[in-house]
A and B are shown apart, each in its own frame.
Chain A
């Protein structure tokens, strides 16, 4: 049974001077690996009463992403490198010069066999997550926007069965790949997530920032932001579209209703009845959509702009990383009402 989204509550907050961009949790625990703007990877047990940071050095720029693949934590950074860390000894196992430009995201398949990385070199690479061997290099995104500026490849995500991989870029182009063959299976366009201002400010903003497959891999959720009037700011409402990607049909279009900014992360609930998203602009948010009708089940302001999160296996806790903070949320139903004093005696008794 799924947790009740309306019962979401931040129960622990850990502050830090840096900006956390990527988070990966060790299954069955509260221990997370997070990538930080200070070029470090940190690990911390968010379930501990007094969490202590352990610092892992090896990257040379913002660490933008983290994924758990079996016994490895793998991190990717703007230095173009992937580093495999032993998640128990915390020692670096392997460092790979993976991309020519910034690595924007990494994802691991749920079975721990595959790792994917996406970069501003506009390539997605699929790796053997255990050996570090390169399996496929996927080129399906244009390096330059239609307006002649460098594009960016922001997001990637495996289907739970590891058969499919989705990638998404700045102009809203999404590709679904066959993991086994490296062939492109489908392409989806989400043009409203990319804003080019041709008149007032003459630059762009936006892009698809998050992807998630449903448990049966039929649905692909895509997150970003809507069309922005003033591209100086992330002032548009956070936007989510869900596609039955094999049918090429959009099943949900959530243009936003309250919170502004980017949808940085998406995840389907274990039972498949809702979709949780998080992100933000100057502020942060967590939002739940019903998959039955696309309606908002619950949404609330987060303590910070959230860049990444993970639901735990039971779907009753959410670990989030963002601007200067890590936050552990729990789905805590309100305590049953207990009157302070005995009920008055029934006068008719």
Chain B
């Protein structure tokens, strides 16, 4: 399938290499924006689109274990399956969500709700893999997850910050995800112990000046070495080294003490809140994809008490995030997703729990590329089946890619085999796209 960078004959060989262009552009540093030559180049619509896409970011709030659609985006008050929570009006006429989300209800103009996911896999492992990669497992092929794809599509080769950060500190259901056939370059920086990555601090025994001078010496020697040789391995080595130095320089992005107390107070004191602040700091600094896993929603017993805790937290933290992004002018460039591996059964079990359910559940998209204040799809009165607009994981992923300006039918190549981002015939959910 065609990429955006084919030449006039349609061959990608004649297209301007996106990474080469952006790498060169970025190398001009602060002069970039003021350089009229480059601004003229932007008149080329393909390049303008590319630059625009480069600014796009994603924060995935991964509701690990499976949040209940009935206690979040698709309430069924008064039905036998509905549970005790009421539905409340939002600031968008006609859209009602659970009373556990009063703050998000007042920000509904930013959010599109998809109520008609039928992903058919209600197993934690299988559901997680499906909803991380957007497609069923295929023998002999390891697909990249959403973060890896977006790191590749939205990341910059010369970026000083990581382009895929994944936070998962709870131990239950922890799944690292990964780049699959895209290779280790797009693997996540995986934070499973705390807010900050380990071992990226400069050693205390080395001063800032020493550190800088050692880097310059290395660059000099490396350049001299490379001049006499032609090898992809040398470039890769330098690239990796540059990224490590970039990661070291990004240490402060993970340091919450750098954030004003007033902002931290707005988000609240929980670990999830702190992780979302770090996510915002990262995307503000240019990281294209950050996943914050809030585990664990698997409420087989006491579903309502569990959701009273977790949805209350989600409502507070996510609404604060949307406000924060909007105030910083980042919301229109940042897609905030809530998603998990599945939803929960409409039936309420004797422990007052809800079990695994993948037949009719919900996700939300807010911000970048999304037609906020919309609802797509419908479940039946008791939430047992999708009544209208059934979609699966691939359509959701096609929607995410499209919202970010990425051609969802674009091919990657594994050897000679073309592998499209979403399988042929998959359509994005146009109704929720801006």
Asked if A pairs with B, the answer is: yes
Q: How far is the CB of A342 from chain B (nearest CB, A)?
A: 50
Q: Within 8 Å CB of B298, what residues of A? A: 201, 232
Beta-carbon contact of B350 and A202 below 8 Å: no
Among A4-12, A126-134, A183-191, A277-285, the stretch that binds chain B is A277-285
Contact of B305 (CB < 8 Å), options: A152, A202, A232 = A152
Beta-carbon contact of A304 and B350 below 8 Å: yes
Measured CA separation A202–B313 after assembly (Å): 12
Beta-carbon contact of B348 and A203 below 8 Å: no
Contact flags (1/0) for B80-104 with A, using CB distance below 8 Å? 1000101000000000000000000
List CB contacts (< 8 Å) of A199-250 with chain B: 199-205, 207, 231-235
Q: How far is the CB of B313 from chain A (nearest CB, A)?
A: 7
Beta-carbon contact of A204 and B309 below 8 Å: yes
Measured CA separation A37–B294 after assembly (Å): 30
Among B197-205, B222-230, B264-272, the stretch that binds chain A is B264-272
Q: Within 8 Å CB of B306, what residues of A? A: 203, 205, 231
Q: How far is the CB of B85 from chain A (nearest CB, A)?
A: 8
Q: How far is the CB of B277 from chain A (nearest CB, A)?
A: 15
Tell me whether A158 is interfacial, beta carbon within 8 Å: no
Q: Within 8 Å CB of B271, what residues of A? A: 202
Contact flags (1/0) for A34-48 with B, using CB distance below 8 Å? 000111000000000
Measured CA separation A17–B308 after assembly (Å): 25
Number of chain B interface residues as a range: 20 to 34
Measured CA separation A281–B353 after assembly (Å): 10
Tell me whether A71 is interfacial, beta carbon within 8 Å: no
Beta-carbon contact of B301 and A281 below 8 Å: yes
A-B contact count (CB 8 A): 91
Beta-carbon contact of B171 and A233 below 8 Å: no
Tell me whether B172 is interfacial, beta carbon within 8 Å: yes
Q: Is the interface of A mostly helix, strand, loop or mixed?
A: loop
Beta-carbon contact of B172 and A234 below 8 Å: no
What is the chain B residue whose CB lies nearest that of A144?
A: B269
Tell me whether A312 is interfacial, beta carbon within 8 Å: no
List CB contacts (< 8 Å) of A289-326 with chain B: 304-305, 323-324
List CB contacts (< 8 Å) of B165-181 with chain A: 169-172
Measured CA separation A96–B255 after assembly (Å): 50
Q: Within 8 Å CB of A280, what residues of B? A: 350-351
Q: How far is the CB of A178 from chain B (nearest CB, A)?
A: 30
Tell me whether A61 is interfacial, beta carbon within 8 Å: yes
Tell me whether B312 is interfacial, beta carbon within 8 Å: yes
Q: Within 8 Å CB of B305, what residues of A? A: 152, 170, 204-205, 207
Measured CA separation A204–B65 after assembly (Å): 15
Measured CA separation A104–B350 after assembly (Å): 18
What is the chain A residue whose CB lies nearest that of B352?
A: A19
Contact flags (1/0) for A233-270 with B, using CB distance below 8 Å? 11100000000000000000000000001000000000
Q: Within 8 Å CB of B281, what residues of A? A: none
